[in-house]
């Protein structure tokens, strides 16, 4: 029986319950909004400070010229921008294929196997690995082997940091593919390989790309691993028409670290401008990942 009064309206007891629930909902919603605003204050304050301090120096000259010497004026960080893209690109070439293949194995091929359990545990452990240890690993593996700091060494260090993010997000994304779709493909006579390539990967790819973009954003802002692997350089990677990867390579993060501690106003201003560029790169990558991973229904 519905708890209605003679007039057909809800009884007073039900009205009081609805009013209490509405009040609690409004209070909790207000608390959530207040927490969101408080959490966003540091973000917007950092963005405001970077725009005010680094925006005035940002121009094409800064993005296209080499870093200046101590007492020089002008200059820029074009080589550091190129070096960042090159090393993140090398890391992506290593981490993305391996991470997606591992995600396929963990979610489709052998989700309950002992190897999958060990790999899953290792990936989760690597997510908490201090970035400086990834640099030490790449230093021992690449720098000591080749005898030189280099862009590939920096790429290997960044790949170690990207890999667990790609693996875990790929696994979760591919797990979300409806079982009915896979069963229907098997019922039509498709092999396991065809189901993976035609059904599982295309369906889960938006979420996989979201994880990839987040991994790239993390790698772009790392400093400590590059101090052990790529070091820094005041020159372009392209010299005399060839790409010189096997040598010290500049990056935005290391340039910010170096220039922020110098006693020269020009270098400090360049560090602020480079910080703004790096934050904008990471922000754009995160926005793109949100758009890619947005549900299509």
Q: How many CB atoms lie within 10 A of CB 211?
A: 25
Nearest-angstrom CA–CA distance, 264 and 274 = 15
Helix/strand/coil (H, E, C) string of 17-34?
Answer: HHHHHHHHHHHHHHHHHH
Q: What pLDDT score was predicted for residue 1?
A: 45
Place of tokens 């692997």: 229
Structure tokens at 16: 């009081």
CA nearest neighbour of 68 among 226, 228, 262: 262
Which top CATH class is 81-249? mainly alpha
Compute the distance between CA of residue 150 and CA of residue 146 in angstroms, rounded to an integer: 9
- pLDDT string in tens for the chain (297-residue length): 455 555 555 555 656 666 667 778 888 888 999 998 998 888 888 888 888 888 888 888 888 889 888 778 888 898 999 999 999 999 999 999 999 999 999 988 888 889 989 999 999 988 888 899 999 999 999 999 999 999 999 999 999 999 999 999 999 988 888 888 888 888 888 888 888 888 888 888 888 888 898 899 889 888 999 999 999 988 888 877 778 888 899 999 999 999 988 888 889 999 999 999 998 888 888 888 778 766 554
Q: Which residues contact 150 (CB under 8 A, 6 or more apart)?
A: 142, 143, 229, 230, 245, 246, 247, 248, 249
């Amino acid at each position: 029986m519905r708890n209605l009064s003679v007039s057909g309206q809800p009884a007073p007891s039900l009205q009081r319950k609805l009013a209490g629930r509405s009040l609690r909902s409004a209070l909790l919603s207000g608390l959530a909004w207040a927490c969101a605003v408080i959490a966003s204050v540091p973000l917007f304050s950092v963005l405001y400070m970077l725009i005010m301090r680094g925006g005035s120096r940002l121009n094409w000259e800064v993005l296209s010229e080499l870093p200046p010497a101590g007492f020089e004026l002008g200059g820029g960080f074009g080589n550091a921008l190129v070096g960042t893209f090159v090393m993140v690109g090398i890391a992506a070439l290593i981490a993305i294929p391996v991470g997606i293949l591992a995600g396929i194995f963990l979610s489709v091929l052998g989700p309950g196997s002992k190897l999958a359990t060990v790999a899953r545990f290792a990936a989760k452990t690597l997510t908490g690995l201090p970035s400086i240890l990834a640099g030490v690993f790449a230093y021992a593996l690449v720098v000591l082997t080749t005898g030189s700091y280099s862009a590939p060494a920096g790429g290997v260090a960044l790949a170690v940091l990207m890999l667990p993010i790609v693996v875990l997000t790929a696994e979760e994304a591919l797990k979300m593919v409806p079982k009915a779709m896979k069963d229907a493909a098997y019922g039509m006579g498709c092999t396991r390989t065809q189901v993976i390539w035609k059904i599982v990967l295309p369906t889960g790819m938006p979420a996989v790309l979201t994880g990839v973009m987040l991994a790239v954003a993390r790698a772009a802002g790392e400093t400590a691993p590059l101090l052990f692997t790529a070091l820094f350089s005041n020159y372009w990677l392209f010299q005399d028409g060839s790409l010189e990867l096997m040598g010290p390579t500049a990056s935005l993060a290391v340039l910010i670290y170096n220039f922020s501690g110098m006693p020269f106003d020009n270098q400090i201003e360049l560090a602020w401008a480079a910080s703004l560029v790096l934050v904008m790169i990471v922000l754009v990558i995160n926005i793109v990942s949100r758009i890619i991973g947005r549900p299509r229904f």
